[in-house]
Each structure stands twice: as structure tokens, then as C-alpha cells.
Amino acid sequence: MPTSGLEHRLESPSGVEIVNVGSVIVATGFKHFDPGRETQKYGYYEYDDVITLVDAEKMLKSGEFVRPSTGEKPKRICFIQCVGSRDRQIGNQWCSKVCCGIATKEAIEIKHLVPDCTVIVFYIDMRMYGFWEDELYWKAQEEYKVNYIRGIVSEVTKRGDTVVVKGEDTTMGRPMEVEMDMVILSVGMEPSDGTIAMAEAFNLPLECHGWIETIGGALNTVQTPVNGVFVAGAAAGPADLEDSISMGGAAAMKACAFVRRISLPTV
Ligand code: SF4
């Protein structure tokens, strides 16, 4: 079956390989925002007890949740939402879609492991999609007594062996300063290095925020401007699991149809 739609140079440590394929699906995902960037004031690389959602997830999977600095169970923890998302100053003008849900899920898991721990979520506004509202957000507050405080954090510093979170309680309209044992940064999504590399390899234009551009509108979310190249999941912008799975299915069908079309004999 002739499938000479696209030619791609694959570079690896062992050399360059030319691959002829009928179609390509770019599914290179995202990378997490680096909270240690110069403009950030969260102390991620300075203080052991400041961690990210990803670090917290690893700890929760191990079944033990302790302060990295002491190995003891924490008494006060806070999450800081929207780290590296919804931020014009750093150029990330998007909501990363999943971090409110993941922080809330982790808050519940922390309360399971350390029931006496006070857990606070500092948020700009909580974005809980679909059933997450009921299954996570309300449950966290009503059953697990997780506290949600609308506020903007401006700085994280250290005092003695505690981490100090400074900012503004925007509901009350007053400055806030709280001492915590641990701070968890809800880092958002950015285009992955693989996404940028694939965009260069296939001459795929990027949309204005830096993700792979799609041109099919709401009814065809996987179509790129390059014939035969499709995109799925967070390579095209912030996406949750359901988005990624449905885009993956749609991209696979489009790719099969494209290969079939170019394989048909011309009359
Ligand atoms: S999902 Fe929540 S934490 Fe993540 S960027 Fe959106 S509003 Fe911020």
C-alpha cells in the first residue's frame, strides 16, 4: 500500500533516520511550569518544604506524607493555585484546566493520611469542571474540612522552621500572612519541548499562546494546517484526560481516513 504522504527525519544519538509515513499524530503533551523562574517568589528551589503538585503526588502515591525538611507529619499545609497560569506578566495567559481539581484531590488525600493537618487552598477562583464540583470541591469542604481562601499570594519566605505565605485576602480586602509547615504550588501547563520540536519538524504553526494551532474549529479539534498531520491532547493547549482521550480517538480516525484517501488509486 503506497503511503508516501510525509517524510520525517528522526534524529537520535545513533544518527538520523528518514521515515516515510502516511500520516502523523502529534501527541507530545505538556510540561509543568518551572516555579523557580527568576520572576517567581515562591522559594521552590530555596526551601525544602515548598513543593509542587507533582512532588506531592509522588509522596501521596508512596502512602506517606511528611515534611521534606524534618520527615515529620505536617500540621499546616497550603496550596497556592495558578502558579504559572493566568499570568500576563510571565506571558502564560491561559488556565491550565486541571490544577484546581488535582489540588482538591490531593487535599482530600492528605487529610486521609494526616487527618489532624489543617489544609488551606489559596485561589483566584476555583475552576472545577463537571462532576468535580460535587465529587471533589464540595466533598473537600464538607467532609474533609479543607479551607478555601480567595487570595493572591505575593511572596513565600522562611521564618524559623516555618514557611511564611504573604499576600492579600481578596474577599476581606486585607493583607494576609500565614505560617505553614508546607506549601504546595499548583503549577500549570506549558507547551512541552517535544511539542516545539514537532512543530519545527513539520512546519506546524503555533497559535498565539505557543501551542500547536488547529484550524478545524469546535467540530474538528485535531486538524492542523499541514495536510496529514493531526494533533491530540495537550500539544494543542491545556487539556484534561477526557479531552486528550477523545482527541486521541478523533486524531486516529482522521489519520486512518487520510492514509486511506492517499492510498486509493486515482482514476
Ligand atoms: S485550573 Fe485552577 S489553578 Fe489551574 S490555572 Fe485554572 S484556575 Fe488556576
Q: Please compute the mean of the pLDDT values over residues 108-121 and round it to a whole number.
A: 98
Does the beta carbon of 158 sit less than 6 angstroms from any atom of ligand 1?
A: no
Q: What is the pLDDT of residue 155?
A: 94
Does the beta carbon of 81 sit less than 6 angstroms from any atom of ligand 1?
A: yes
Does the beta carbon of 104 sit less than 6 angstroms from any atom of ligand 1?
A: no
Does the beta carbon of 82 sit less than 6 angstroms from any atom of ligand 1?
A: yes
DSSP character at residue 143? T
Classified as helix, coil or strand, 180 is: strand
Confidence of residue 10 (pLDDT cuts 50, 70, 90): low
Q: Please compute the mean of the pLDDT values over residues 52-64 and round it to a whole number.
A: 97
Q: Which residues pair with 159 in a beta bridge?
A: 162
Pick the residue whose CA is nearest to atom 6 on ligand 1: 95
Nearest by Cα to 231 from 191, 266, 187 = 191
Does the beta carbon of 150 sit less than 6 angstroms from any atom of ligand 1?
A: no
Does the beta carbon of 188 sit less than 6 angstroms from any atom of ligand 1?
A: yes
The minimum-distance atom of ligand 1 relative to the CA of 100 is 2
Nearest by Cα to 181 from 50, 82, 55 = 50
Q: Taking all residues of the chain, what is their mean pLDDT, rounded to a whole number?
A: 93
What are 199-250's pLDDT values in tens digits? 999 999 999 999 999 999 999 999 999 999 999 999 999 999 999 999 999 9
What are 133-156's pLDDT values in tens digits? 999 999 999 999 999 999 999 999
CA of 166 to the centre of ligand 1 (A): 20
Confidence of residue 37 (pLDDT cuts 50, 70, 90): confident
Are the CB atoms for 158 and 47 separated by under 8 Å?
Answer: yes
Q: What is the pLDDT of residue 17?
A: 79
Q: What is the pLDDT of residue 1?
A: 35
CA of 207 to the centre of ligand 1 (A): 21
Nearest by Cα to 169 from 186, 152, 191 = 152
Q: What is the pLDDT of residue 9?
A: 64
Residue 3 has pLDDT above 60, yes or no: no
Residues 109 and 92: their CA atoms lie apart, in Å, by 29
Rounded (to 5) percent helix, strand, coil in the chain: 30, 30, 40
Does the beta carbon of 31 sit less than 6 angstroms from any atom of ligand 1?
A: no
Does pTM surpass 0.85? yes
Span of 3-12, 120-129, 191-200 with lowest mean pLDDT:
3-12
Q: What is the pLDDT of residue 16?
A: 76
What are 153-197's pLDDT values in tens digits? 999 999 999 999 999 999 889 999 999 999 999 999 999 999 999
Pick the residue whose CA is nearest to atom 1 on ligand 1: 97
The minimum-distance atom of ligand 1 relative to the CA of 186 is 3
Q: What is the pLDDT of residue 47?
A: 97
Does the beta carbon of 152 sit less than 6 angstroms from any atom of ligand 1?
A: no
Pick the residue whose CA is nearest to atom 2 on ligand 1: 100
Other CB atoms within 10 A of residue 3 CB: 15
End-to-end CA distance of the chain: 17
To which H or E segment does residue 231 belong?
Answer: strand 229-231
Residues 6+ apart with CB under 8 A from 147: 118, 119, 120, 121, 141
Q: Which amino acid is at 102?
A: I
Nearest by Cα to 118 from 182, 55, 169 = 182
Pick the residue whose CA is nearest to atom 4 on ligand 1: 99
Does the beta carbon of 96 sit less than 6 angstroms from any atom of ligand 1?
A: yes
- The x, y and z cell numbers of residue 205, run together, are 504553526
Residue with cell 493547549: 237
